[in-house]
Amino acid sequence: MSEEELMIKQLFDEEKLTDKQKQIIIAAIESFSEKGYSATSTSEIAKKAGVAEGTIFRHYKTKKDLLMSIVAPLMAKLIGPFVVNDFNKVLDRKYDRVEDFLKATIENRREVLIKLLPVIKILLQEIPFQPELRELFLEQIAKKIFDRVSIIIKGYQEKGELIEMPPESVARLAITSILGYLISRYVLFPDLEWDDELETDRTIQFIMHGLGKKE
């Protein structure tokens, strides 16, 4: 329970949720991420949450509403680090080298990501099917992160630290590499043994220097 309580706190810290609401959210996250949104029934959520089915609909008008209220705060969390002054340090040249910036970013976010993993899974799963979610994600999240990252990329490019390539391509390549690592690590093969620090380093190294042999 403390695990989930933490997740709830991470996601809904500012909002005031009743106990029942928390239980519903936790149960919904668990079921959605295990079986998918469509394949999860509200009665199942109710049972798992230990509340009456009607209670769910008192708090969330529809099942989709419940999905949204789970996934929307996640998006806020996801842009969070890119908009708050955490990132200003980067812009303030705190991190001279891209490597250090990348490592700090990944390390800094790893814990949050792990905790929010089930919700992230839900988000990724449902984006293709929920147009509202998709739009929200593209316009509110992807665009904002992208803009921020582009600025940073341009900064490093000007410093001669990064290859000359349109920032959007650079961003795409870097972001998908990181996500590819995280998805492999935590979604696809969580059961394998991973040396997290080593793999993080390898991913960063890859992003910076590619796979070509340095002679």
| Residue ranges in contact with DNA by CB under 7 A | 18-21, 40-44, 51-59, 61-64
Which 22-81 residues touch a second copy, going by CB under 8 A?
A: 34-39
147 interacts with a second copy by CB under 8 A = no
Task: Write down the least CB distance from residue 50 to a second copy, Å.
Answer: 19
Q: Using alpha carbons, list the distances in angstroms from residue 189 to 81, 107, 141, 170, 178.
A: 27, 20, 27, 27, 15
User: Is 125 one of the binding residues for a second copy (CB under 8 A)?
Assistant: yes
Tell the smallest beta-carbon distance from residue 34 to DNA (Å).
Answer: 14
110: left (phi over 0), alpha (psi -120 to 50) or beta: alpha
Backbone angles phi, psi at 6, to 5 degrees: -65, -45
18 is in the binding site of which of DNA, a second copy, none (Cβ under 5 to 8 A by kind)?
DNA
Is 172 in a helix, a strand, or coil? Answer: helix
Taking alpha carbons only, the member of 11, 38, 43 closest to residue 25 is 11
Binding residues for a second copy, rule: CB under 8 A, are 34-39, 98, 121, 125, 128-129, 160-165, 169-170, 172-177, 179-181, 183-184, 187, 199, 202-203, 205-215
